[in-house]
Amino acid sequence: MASRFGGLALLALISSSLIAAPALAAEDLQIVDEPDKPPKGFVQTRAAVEQTARRTEAVQGQLLEHPRMSPTTYTTENQRWHVSWFNKRDKEVAQVIVDDASGRVVEQWTGPQVAWKMARGYPGAFGRSINLPWVWLPLCLVFLVPFIDFRNPRRLLHLDLLVLLSFTISHTFFDAANIAASVPLVYPVLLYLLARMLWEGWRRRERATRLIPHLRLWVVVAATALLIVGRIVLNVLDGNVIDVGYAGVIGAERIVAGEGIYGDGFHEEVGNGDTYGPLTYLTYVPFERLFPWGGEWDGLPAAHGAAIAFDLLALAGLFVLGTRFARGPPGRELGVALAFAWAAYPYSSFSLMSNANDTLVAAALIWTMALVASPVGRGAMLGLAAAAKFAPLILAPVLLRGPDGGRRRFLGRAASPVLFVAALAIVIALLFVPFVPDGGVREIFERTIVYQADRNSPFSVWGSYDIADWLHRAAQVAAAALAVALAVFPRKRDATQIVALSAAVLLALQLTVDHWFYLYVVWFAPLVFVALFARHQLRPAPP
């Protein structure tokens, strides 16, 4: 019994610790030694800047707790001063940014916002113009329009889609640098979606209402095409590349140069950029060859190309998935509805505009579900997802069994789990073995799983509040136990139920991770779309 619980705990730890955190570019800081002589190209002196910084509310509050602190002062490339106060444990507890030309304080930070620049609400740090209210809110409305049934305002799908959009409330506080409000507001949304996915996965019931009640299908197709073109144009013209995209380009360049991925010296600007699986870096190789990396954090067109490709793979996968789940015109309608939902959903645009690698995971999971009837197909695709980022491995118990019904090939139903596990293991081995460093598998484990598990993040309730470690571990074990239980129950399941249960496991995982961010919404959102849409009547009943 103890070994079982130990295995569950390990599965929870591995999965929940491998959702890597995006970050902003590091500043080039130069320490200033002379107190009364301005550095070259600067107007202010160190002494004057420190006196200005000391008068700020952030520093005064920290000096009450640590009265013997003294500042360490730097200059930055953008003609600013960076003044930091460290406590006895060498932890930076206050930071003040002073403009050199005016001598004014432009930023002051304490608490987690000292160490985490992404918590400071810098405009456009993630996704740039997609965050503007006059872009984001119309996208939310467009996302809802095809599925609104004016004759049935109490339709449950209305509430489900509104909840999917309600991450916006938390996101608004995040953009305002108020993580004390943004963090707890995420969890009611995740909990609601977890409950809905478990409900959809446990019961098989068709709904009499039409999925797209009022619009003609060609209108939805045209809207999807316009959205796709608009998203690509906006990405090229205004998208920014966060560190995860930068790491992908660097890793691709290292592969082409015959260098290893894992180990110290990955790159000075993204020192821990080797925290992902090898597939992440391999997928950037053709784009890095087409748009060679210039050696610095510039426009990075290779990262833009990869992000657009991931997005198109997800779109194509959703359309194919729809045609697999229903035949003929109903399948095409479901496929169009799923592709439209992805193209209109603001958080898929948020990931695209940030040029992150999370859409690669989403695309791999979508195609896993498109091949869910094949043990080899779903095993191989889940292997690809796990070789991009490790967390999708938590879906292995759910996907061990395929949907009920259909033709049983090879050695029959009993062989399905064996074929699934074999395909999963072979794909993971083929992708990892060529990149095992001199330190062996242990070094990969330390650079990925251990590194992520040891990070303390203020972007989850587990990092923001003083919650006992045993309670956090219990939540992680519960998420892993749920995944294992869903390998057995319900005893009868169709493809839609498997998708819903997979979404539930991903949601349970994200409820327990040390670090949570809005980019991770795209991991489960397409599966939620499928679970919510596939049960609806896609064509009116004949008279």
| pLDDT tens for each residue of the chain, 543 residues long | 444 444 444 444 444 444 555 555 556 788 888 888 999 889 999 999 989 999 999 899 888 888 888 899 999 888 899 999 998 788 888 999 999 999 999 999 988 888 888 888 888 889 999 999 999 999 999 999 999 999 988 899 999 999 999 999 999 999 999 999 999 999 999 999 999 999 999 887 777 788 999 999 999 999 999 999 999 999 999 999 999 999 999 999 999 999 989 988 888 888 788 889 999 999 999 999 999 998 888 889 999 999 999 999 999 999 999 999 888 888 999 999 999 999 999 999 999 999 999 999 999 999 999 999 999 999 999 999 999 998 999 999 999 988 886 554 544 566 789 999 999 999 999 999 999 988 888 888 888 888 777 677 899 999 888 888 899 999 999 999 999 999 988 888 899 999 999 999 999 999 999 889 999 999 999 999 999 999 887 654 443
The amino acid at 177? A
Rounded Cα distance, 227 and 194, in Å: 29
- DSSP class of 190: H
Domain range list for the chain: 28-115, 128-537
Give 440-452 as a DSSP string.
HHHHHHIIIIIHH
Rounded Cα distance, 346 and 463, in Å: 27
Rounded Cα distance, 98 and 83, in Å: 8
Contact 221, 156 (CB under 8 A): no
Q: What angle do CA 465, 459, 444 make, to 5 degrees?
A: 110
Q: Domain 28-115, what fold? A: Nuclear Transport Factor 2; Chain: A, (3.10.450)
The sign of the CA dihedral 347, 349, 355, 357 is: positive
Structure tokens at 38: 């301005």
Average pLDDT, the chain: 89
Give 107-148 as a DSSP string.
EEEETHHHH-GGGS--TTTTTGGGGSHHHHHHHHHHHHGGG-
pTM recorded for the entire structure: 0.90
Q: pLDDT tens digits for 21-48? A: 555 555 678 888 888 899 988 999 999 9
